[in-house]
Copies of this chain bind each other. A is one copy, B any other.
C-alpha cells in the first residue's frame, strides 16, 4: 500500500535503461513514490515486469513489477514526472505534459539548451531554477514546467570544472571520453561492435557536450543565463565498459594554480545546496584519488552510491596547464540520479507544490 505522505511521481519512458534506473533509485525514496509508469504504445497495458527488459543487478521492486504501464499521455499522470524519452519523442511529448500542468524533470536532451529551461546540477548552478518562472507553461494555470539535467558525458566533467572555474577562471578544456555501453540504452550497442573494440563515434555527443558545458557553468544575470565564456573541444568514444564514463582532460586556467591548490579546490568543493540535506546528494561531491592508476570505472563508479565524481592523475600539461582523469556514473550521476536530485531541489524550493 502506497504511503499517503510521499509525493506521487510518474516515470515517462519507464521501460528503458534510464527508466529502469529511475525505478531502482526511487524505490524507498524518502520523499517520492512511483505511482505511474508510462512507455510506448507497445508496452501500454502490460505489467511493468512484462514490458521492461530489466537489466539491472537488483531485482524489480515487487510493487512495481505488477504495476500496469500507462500510455505516454498526461491524463491520469501525477503532477511530478521524471522523463527518460528519446529526444525526438521528448520534443513532442514534454511540452504537452508541461502545458497540462506537470512538473517535468527530464533526462532528455530536447529542451536542455532552451533559454528558459534550467540545466541543473544542484551542487553548482541551482540559481538556474529562476529560469522556470520565465516558462510560458509556468505562467499558465497549471503551473507546469520543464527542468533538465545534462548529458552523461559532460556531467562529471562539469562538476570537476566548476570549482576551478570559480577559483581560478577557466579558459580552455580538451576532453576525450571513453563511454560505457549503458549510455546507449538497450539493446543499444551490438556486442559484435564493442567486444574487444573501441567505437570512436557517438552520434551528436560531442556537440551536446560542448554546448551543455557552457550552460552548466553559466551564470544568472538579471534573470537571464549567460553562457560561460571558455572554449571546449570534445571527442567521444565508446568502450567495452558497462557503467561509468572515463574522460582524459586538459585545461587552461585564467589564473595560475598549483596542483595543491587544484586538489584543494576539488576536495573542498562545497555543494551550493549542502545545507538542504537533499537525500540523493552525495556526502562528497568530488573525490580526488591520489593513486597513480585511478579512477577506474569498474572500481570507482559506486562511490557515493554513484553520485560522487572521482578525479585522479592531476599532472602538468605541456600545452595547457593541467591534465587529469575524471569518472562519473553515467546512468546514476549522469541521468536518473541527477534528475532525482533535481526533483529534490525543486521540492525544497517549493516548485513541486501545485
Assembly CA distance A47 to B232 (angstroms): 39
- Least CB distance from A84 to B in Å reads 16
- Least CB distance from A60 to B in Å reads 11
- Least CB distance from A3 to B in Å reads 23
Number of copies: 4
Q: Is A237 an interface residue (CB 8 A)?
A: yes
Chain B residues near A259 (CB-CB < 8 A): none
Q: Is A133 an interface residue (CB 8 A)?
A: no
Contacting pair A250 B174 (CB below 8 A): yes
Number of chain A residues close to chain B: CB under 8 A = 60
Contacting pair A195 B181 (CB below 8 A): yes
Contacting pair A192 B200 (CB below 8 A): no
From A191, A195, A313, residue with most partner B Cβ within 10 Å: A191
- Least CB distance from A335 to B in Å reads 15
Complex interface: stretch among A38-46, A67-75, A265-273, A293-301: A293-301
Interface positions, chain A 243-284, Cβ under 8 Å from B, are 246, 248, 250
- Least CB distance from A66 to B in Å reads 15
Assembly CA distance A278 to B59 (angstroms): 23
Complex interface: stretch among A7-15, A23-31, A150-158, A314-322: A314-322
5 new A-B pairs (CB below 8 Å) besides A186-B192, A200-B325, A235-B250? A190-B191, A193-B296, A198-B239, A198-B241, A200-B313
